[in-house]
Amino acid sequence: MTEYKPITKLADLPEEDLFASGHRLCSGCGPGIVARLTMLACQERPIVVNATGCLEVASTIYPYTAWKVPWVHVTFENAAAVASGISEALDKLQKEGRNKMAPVIALGGDGGTFDIGIQALSGALERGHRFLYICYDNEGYMNTGIQRSSATPFGASTTTSPAGKVIPGKQEWKKDLVGIVAAHHIPYAATATLAYQRDYANKVRKALSYNGPTFIHALAPCTLGWGYDPSLTVAISRLAAETRFFPLFEIENGALKMTMRFPKPKPMDEYVKTQRRFAHLFKPENQHILKQIQQNVDENWERLLRIEAAGKVF
CA 108/CA 55 separation, integer angstroms: 8
CA 79/CA 223 separation, integer angstroms: 25
Q: Is the four-CA dihedral 162, 276, 55, 39 of positive or negative sign? A: negative
Low-confidence ranges of the chain (pLDDT < 50): none
Residue type, 139: E
Residue ranges of alpha helices (H) inside 132-279 are 177-182, 197-208, 223-226, 233-242, 268-272
Burial degree of 67 (CB within 10 A; 0-12, 13-18, 19+): middle
- How far apart are the two ends of the chain, measured CA to CA in Å? 24
What is the predicted pLDDT for the residue at 1?
A: 66
What is the predicted pLDDT for the residue at 114?
A: 98
Q: Give the CA distances from residue 76 to residues 145, 158, 252, in Å, rounded to whole numbers and listed in that order.
A: 16, 20, 28
SS3 for 208-225 is: HCCCCEEEEEEECCCHHH
For 217, other C-beta atoms within 10 Å of its C-beta total 24
What is the predicted pLDDT for the residue at 275?
A: 98
pLDDT digits (tens, 9 = 90+) for 272-294: 999 999 999 999 999 999 999 99
